[in-house]
Chains A and B, each alone.
Chain A
Amino acid sequence: MARAIPKKPRRPLSAACGNSAGMAWGDIASIGFTAVGLVFFVAGTVGLIRFPDVFSRLHALTKADNLGLGFLALGLAFQAPGWTEIAMLAMVWALALVAAGTAAQMVARAALAEGDKDERP
């Protein structure tokens, strides 16, 4: 299968700033930021399951989408082979942000129109 991205092998940006302890600062940053992102995803999921009505559940969900995905993209950016991939990651996050925000508005308006009949068992 023809793959687009690695046309020529490039060192990750993170490899350029390695420290003597054996673990590159870029890797530490990746682990840290993705961990923060995962915390937001877990919190968003818990909120989605536990919160009482549509609006607060939307609030939890969009936090996961916006901050969680943002921190994941930030963490992954330290592993990217070049600036093109970093720009792609930024675009993925920006587009997801706009789409999630719009979808949340739509769901909230629909819930408002239907009087927020809570259907949870």
Chain B
Amino acid sequence: MAPPLTRPPLPHTQPWHQKRSVRRGAHAALVYALAVPGAILFTIPLLWMLSTALKEPKQIFLFPPKWIPDPLLWGNFVAGWNDFLPFNTFLANSLIITVSNIVGNLISCSLAAFAFARLRARGKNLLFLLVLGTMLLPQEVTVIPQYVLFTRLGWNDSWLPLMVPPWFGWPFFIFLLRQFFMGIPRELDEAARLDGASSGRILWNLILPLSKPALATVVIFGFIGNWNNFLYPLIYIRSMDKQVLAVALNMFRGAYGNANYQYMMAVSLLVLLPVLVVFFLGQRLFVRGIALTGIKG
């Protein structure tokens, strides 16, 4: 490597606007002047959602809008949730399906990802190409024949079409985990292998504990994806008592929405809340996971 270059001495006759401190100050002011209004603009829709959710009907249609409602009707959350559709049932259904799907994804995808990252076998490259290929494939190509298949199996109006496939892996998560596993030094598991550890033990005791950022990323993306999944429950589930939050929320909008913006915003906010909570709980690990694997959902 070349020796570090020394900075040439600066001339002493700098005009004021080129002085370091002034320039830095002006630079910071410019950054704030552009970024702060944008940040506010990005935040206010959610605040507006909350504000609407707390309003009494006649304040909703005030123009210009009233930001802080008077009175603050926290009861709108309870009324919107309980008085129209059985949202407690939908919540329970969404939770069961989402949690089960995440567990299924974690197990099936870490197994496959470990195999692709670490184990040598004939045909591996070709199979991995299949994983990549299916990542690019739009779900619209498979959704129709899957519908035919699941209908033939008698799975219509049940949770099975939503809950079975996640136990058989998801190409995007396999890819994400594989990328992460590849970054873990191979010496570690080769040492363990020499000590007689099996592949399963290496994955469980060595790779997974080191992969928390990637696993957190799978959990968060899995949660958001399953919680928000709209198309599948929409086409498969008919019975009210089996319905999930995303579809129920849209039914609520269709049936009561136009006259009840305060309830619609209240219930929408409640449906959104778990996503935000999960994100904030896993945020530290998650951001690292994304930065390390360069992937978004």
> Do they bind each other?
no
Interface residues of A (CB under 8 A from B): none
Interface residues of B (CB under 8 A from A): none
